[in-house]
A and B are shown apart, each in its own frame.
Chain A
């Protein structure tokens, strides 16, 4: 560390380190660092600007042309919905089943995906794996399921299985298994191995060692990640509905395609989705803080 402060080459290293040379060297280092971070920043800004220009040139409408229109569509929608505001409570009831379907897809996928993730994570963690030689295999499996976007699997499954909630459920479960598996295994890696060793010494099987030795240690963090994932999955399930079929996303797509005249439905769906996400967000956030930080520190 000290050497770095004295400049680039050993030949320039001052002898004795008198106060003046030391501070000079320090200032030079600061200048050099600033130069480097300046260059990196400039490069970064240039990259952003160039990228934005490129993205704009390949877009159908330009940024400045579109900017005044940002509120055109929302205001059109809202003004129509305002005229028909008496319909909205009824529409809430009408779309509640689809909302339930969306939330159910997310919940089931989180459960199935989370269970698979737990199994994969334990099998892929060094020191805990049932078959240590196979850990790379399970790791690659998680990487693969994580990197295939849900939409690809969902659309292919719709081709085979037809519409409905099942394609979305399978697609989200697969992705969840990979994404959570990685996080789970990072947590499990930091788990204390002493309980596992103790259980091994009394002749516990692998499942017993995991269930009694590892799971109690990692459960709070795992549950916290699981809840975060549930929130993400609700959003994903709505999007999959919009692109594919099933749930409230599909209703939204139908209402949007109809255009003017059904904007009260659009607003009702927006509101339902918004409220659901906010509620889930706040509830999971509350429990997550409690789980990770402990009871007494629960959010004020």
Chain B
């Protein structure tokens, strides 16, 4: 490792001292400039104002959604109907007659155990919420049904919000809303709701042991197929999480990166020979090839993607073509640099046998550059699996599309977390795979 600072060839004491002085000036100047720049950016990007603009409630929603879900227990005050659903979605509604184990209904009285002594009861007079170390919050509609009467230990704490139309109670155990039309209780629980089976599936709310028993020895629920196949299809076609579609989207993203990278690698190979000084004696052609590479790289993946999306419509092929074009430029540049740095002795040896240019390239050059080129290809493939996510978001294909859709709706953050985990796992798996192949190729292990 050589240090390539501007060291003069002849080091007189004078010159050496001058270098030292210059270096010590630089040692203060460079950090100073960087610091000044960062300070300017600090105010130009209005970072002091960020705290005021940040929506902490959004952050709270996002973070809770990542690891927890809520169950809604709702009673319609007019009809008295009780409905329970995960995240308040229709597809997450419990079928009639099925209750979570912390909700009991006896003689028209619904008791909801929120844990740690928090008990909510709905009865025909109204609803009661027993909060430990505070007391009982009792809510009844007034005689004429126009307002709500709240009976709770005074003074009211800040976590109870009461008007004569709506009363909300927020405790660490859950949330409770009483309005004239309905009463709702939300209980937060760790984990993603309905990840394996939706509520309309016969396997909903079964423990792993029960499921194992059903799969192996249990009677067939659907006489036409075994329970295991039924289970697999219920999981794969899960109506909330769409595991099947997500797997397809991941595969599409991978496909985009694969086709784009490897086709680019093939297309760029002959072009790189034309751009390398030692293979192409024609200066102007070389210059043109290099400028083409620069142009392709300069136009940028973003612009290629937009142009191609107009021609080919959304989908994985458009993404693959965008990667193909961008990477042709990158590969052309990388390859031609590699080709210029080869060992000439081997080509000379081949030339001495009277080989043609093509044979020289095939037997003298390709064997020595193949490991390097393949390693470059794999490295770009690795980074393209990441870019394919972004390109998918622009063209509308693969996991990138699902991800941006989930983020734009701004409520399905558990989906976002799920996709993120899958993307990270995919990228990491490819990282180690390509690392393994590269080690094999270069070291020949």
Judged by DSSP, the binding face of B is: helix
Q: How many residues of A contact B (CB 8 A)?
A: 72
CB A196 to nearest CB in B, in angstroms, measures 13
User: Is A59 an interface residue, CB under 8 A from the partner?
Assistant: yes
List chain B residues, Cβ under 8 A from A151.
Answer: 389-390, 393, 400, 403-404
Name which of A4-12, A127-135, A159-167 contacts chain B: A159-167
Which of chain A's residues have a CB closer than 8 A to the CB of B393? 151, 243
B55–A66 CB distance below 8 A: no
**Of A13-21, A50-58, A83-91, A201-209, which binds chain B?**
A50-58
Query: Does A55 contact B256, Cβ atoms closer than 8 Å?
Result: yes
Instruction: For the complex, give the distance between the alpha carbons of A150 and B386 in Å.
Output: 9
B6, closest chain A residue (CB): A295
- Contact flags (1/0) for A210-239 with B, using CB distance below 8 Å? 000000111110000000000000010011
1/0 per residue, CB under 8 A from A, across B254-280: the answer is 011011001100000000000000000
Interface residues on B, range: 35 or more
Contact A277 B3 (CB under 8 A): no
Kindly identify which residue among B47, B299, B311, B416 contacts A152, using a CB–CB cutoff of 8 Å: B416
Is B58 a contact partner of A61 (Cβ separation < 8 A)?
A: no
A59 to B313, CA, bound (A): 7
Assembly CA distance A64 to B302 (angstroms): 23
Assess whether B311 is in contact with A61, with CB atoms less than 8 Å apart: yes
CA distance A279 to B54 in the complex (A): 36
Q: A235-B301, A256-B306, A274-B300 are in contact. Are A59 and B314 (CB under 8 A)?
A: yes
Residue of A at shortest CB range from B408?
A: A155
Q: Which of B259, B263, B404 contacts A155 (CB 8 A)?
A: B404
Interfacial chain A residues near B312, Cβ < 8 Å? 59-63, 66, 69
- In the complex, per-residue mask of A283-297: 1 if CB is within 8 Å of any chain B CB, else 0: 000000011111100
- For residue A49, give the distance in angstroms from its CB to the closest CB of chain B: 10
Question: Which residues of B are found within 8 Å of A80, using beta-carbon distances?
Answer: none
What chain B residues lie within 8 Å of A159 (beta carbons)?
55, 58, 62, 407, 410
Return chain B residues, CB-CB under 8 Å to A52: 259, 317, 320
Q: For the complex, is A258 an interface residue (Cβ under 8 Å from B)? A: no
- Whether B53 lies near A161 (C-beta < 8 A) is yes
A149-B386 contact, Cβ under 8 Å, with A59-B317, A239-B302: yes
Verify A148–B424 contact, CB threshold 8 A: yes
Stretch at the interface among B37-45, B78-86, B170-178: B37-45
Question: Which residues of the partner chain A approach B55 to less than 8 Å between Cβ atoms?
Answer: 159-162
Q: What's the least CB distance linking A193 to chain B, in Å?
A: 12
| Interchain CA distance A156-B58 in the complex, whole Å | 10
Contacts of A70 in B (CB 8 A): 307-308, 311
When chains A and B are docked, how far (Å) is the Cα of A174 from the Cα of B389? Answer: 17
Residue in chain B with minimal CB distance to A68? B311
B420 on interface, CB distance cutoff 8 Å: yes
Contact check: which of A44, A72, A146, A217 meets B310 at CB < 8 Å? A72
**In the complex, chain A residues whose CB is within 8 Å of the CB of B58:** 159-160
Q: Indicate if the CB atoms of B256 and A220 lie closer than 8 Å.
A: no
- Report Cα–Cα, A146/B255, bound state, in Å: 21
A149 & B38 in contact (Cβ 8 Å cutoff)? no
Contacts of B259 in A (CB 8 A): 48, 51-52, 55
Within 8 A of A (CB), among B390-445: 390, 393-394, 397, 400, 403-404, 407, 410, 416, 419-420, 423-424, 427-428, 431
Contact of B390 among A144, A160, A243 (CB under 8 A): A243
Chain B nearest CB, measured from A251 CB (Å): 13
> Is B316 engaged at the interface, CB distance under 8 Å to the other chain?
yes
Do A59 and B298 touch (CB < 8 A)?
Answer: no
Interface assignment of B1: CB less than 8 Å from any CB of chain A: yes
* Distance of A209 Cα from B50 Cα, bound (Å): 38
> How many Å from the CB of B41 to the closest CB on chain A?
5
**Proximity string of chain B (200-239) to chain A, C-beta cutoff 8 Å, 1 when within and 0 when not:** 0000000000000000000000000000000000000000
B1-27 near A? 1/0 per residue, CB < 8 Å: 111101000000000000000000000
Cα A274 to Cα B345 with chains together (Å): 40
* Contact status B313-A61, CB under 8 Å: yes
CB <8 Å contact, A58 and B316: yes
Residues of A within 8 A of B427 (CB): 146-147
Q: Is A270 an interface residue (CB 8 A)?
A: yes
Inter-subunit contact B255/A294 (CB<8 Å): no
Contact status A51-B258, CB under 8 Å: yes
CA distance A74 to B317 in the complex (A): 19
A249 interface hit (Cβ, 8 Å): yes
Point out which of A73, A111, A143, A152 has the most chain B C-beta atoms below 10 A from its C-beta. Answer: A152
- Looking at the complex, which one of A74, A143, A273, A295 makes contact with B307 (CB distance below 8 Å)? A74
- Cβ of A26 < 8 Å from any Cβ of B? no
A187-203 to B contact mask, C-beta < 8 Å, 1/0: 00011100000000000
Asked whether, in the complex, the Cβ of B424 is within 8 Å of the Cβ of A147, the reply is yes
Partner of A217, one of B1, B400, B431: B1
Judged by a CB distance under 8 angstroms, whether A22 is at the interface is no
How far, in angstroms, from A146 to B386 measured CA to CA in the complex?
Answer: 9
Quick check: B302 and A249 within 8 Å, CB to CB?
A: yes
Q: Determine if A242 is an interface residue (Cβ-Cβ < 8 Å).
A: yes
A132 and B397 alpha carbons, distance in the complex (Å): 43
Residues on A with beta carbons closer than 8 Å to the beta carbon of B54? 160-162
User: A147-B427, A162-B55, A242-B394 are known contacts. Are A55 and B301 too (CB-CB below 8 A)?
Assistant: no
Task: Tell whether B88 is near chain A: CB-to-CB under 8 Å.
Answer: no
Would you give the shortest CB distance from A74 to chain B, in whole angstroms?
6
In angstroms, Cα B407 to Cα A134, docked, is 35
Apart from A151-B390, A295-B4: 16 A-B pairs, beta carbons within 8 A: A48-B263, A52-B259, A52-B317, A58-B315, A60-B313, A108-B37, A149-B390, A151-B403, A152-B389, A152-B416, A155-B403, A162-B54, A166-B45, A270-B299, A273-B303, A292-B4
Chain A residues proximal to chain B, CB less than 8 Å = 44, 48, 51-52, 54-56, 58-63, 66-67, 69-70, 72-74, 104, 107-108, 111, 143-144, 146-152, 155-156, 159-162, 164-166, 169, 190-192, 216-220, 235, 238-239, 242-243, 249, 252, 256, 270, 273-274, 277-278, 281-282, 290-295
9 contacts between A and B (CB under 8 A): A61-B315, A69-B310, A74-B307, A144-B424, A161-B55, A191-B1, A239-B302, A249-B302, A274-B300
